[in-house]
Amino acid sequence: MNKALVILYPGFSLYEINCLTSYLTINLYDDDAWKIDTVSSTLEPVTSEDHFSVNPNKVFDEIDILDYRLIILPGIIDYTKIIDDEKIISFIKKLNVTPRPLIASISSSPILLAKGGILKDVKFTAGLYEETLESYPYLSKQQLTRTPVHYDKEHQIITAIGFAFREFAIEVLRALDYKVKDTLFSGTLIKKYSKEDLTYRMQ
């Protein structure tokens, strides 16, 4: 079974990763569905940016990075609250292995990868203010692509700005060899539905 790991930290964004995680679990048939673990420094509930409490099922010390095919870093509503959290940064440093899982990081979370030394020589994008880029020496404007989504295939890292959460999910799924269309998460208004289309049966 394929496995993904979602790193949880205070103020993480659920909606920025839900297209991706729901596809890997709900949209696939049972035999193909992924197992998703959530990890944090303790097993205490972690509160998302929209005040949902999520219980991680693993702690950092339990994780073998190579057990996973995908590592997901959600965005963070206020990265300053965790950028100096040594437990989180120490764990992220463990991602610097070869070969390593695909890393998918959205919104402001690439700053954690940068502090952990994972973005060295990596092209990336992020939802960060210019002042932030100028304030942290481990963030390089020269490496910033300023695109909604960027896939650095050589380093197996996909990054995205938060508003591109749909495109982020699609890019990650394609990197995992799923043949998905650009319209996968485009919503219901692009198609006209008949009443029969919206009638559901058990069989």
**Residue 143's Cα: distance from chain center in Å?**
20
> What tokens does 177 get?
């060899």
Q: How far apart are CA 1 and CA 152, in angstroms?
A: 25
Q: How far apart are CA 156 and CA 97, in angstroms?
A: 11
Question: What element of type H or E holds 16?
Answer: helix 15-22
Spatial contact of 130 and 90, defined as CB atoms under 8 Å apart:
no
pLDDT of res. 186: 83
pLDDT of res. 190: 64
Over 80: is that where the pLDDT of 7 sits?
yes
Over 90: is that where the pLDDT of 176 sits?
yes
Q: What is the pTM of this model?
A: 0.94
Let me know the angle formed at the C-alpha of 103 by 98 and 106, rounded to the nearest 5 degrees: 155
Please provide the average confidence, as pLDDT, over all residues in the chain. Answer: 94
Over 90: is that where the pLDDT of 192 sits?
no
> What tokens does 179 get?
């043949």
pLDDT above 90: percentage of residues in the chain: 87
Going along the chain, which residue ranges are E strands?
3-7, 35-40, 46-47, 53-54, 58-59, 70-73, 102-106, 149-152, 157-160
Over 90: is that where the pLDDT of 202 sits?
no
Mean pLDDT of 8-18: 97
pLDDT of res. 198: 84
Over 90: is that where the pLDDT of 33 sits?
yes
Residues 6+ away with beta carbon under 8 Å from 127 = 75, 106, 107, 108, 161, 162, 163
Over 70: is that where the pLDDT of 189 sits?
no
Q: How far apart are CA 125 and CA 105, in angstroms?
A: 9
Give per-residue burial for 112-129: e unless 16+ CB within 10 Å, then b. bbbbbebbeebbbbbbbe
Alpha helices in 52-141 (DSSP H): 86-93, 110-115, 130-135
pLDDT of res. 191: 73
Segment 58-99, tens digit of pLDDT: 999 999 999 999 999 999 999 999 999 999 999 999 999 989
pLDDT above 70: percentage of residues in the chain: 99
Q: How confident is the model at residue 18 (pLDDT cuts 50, 70, 90)?
A: very high
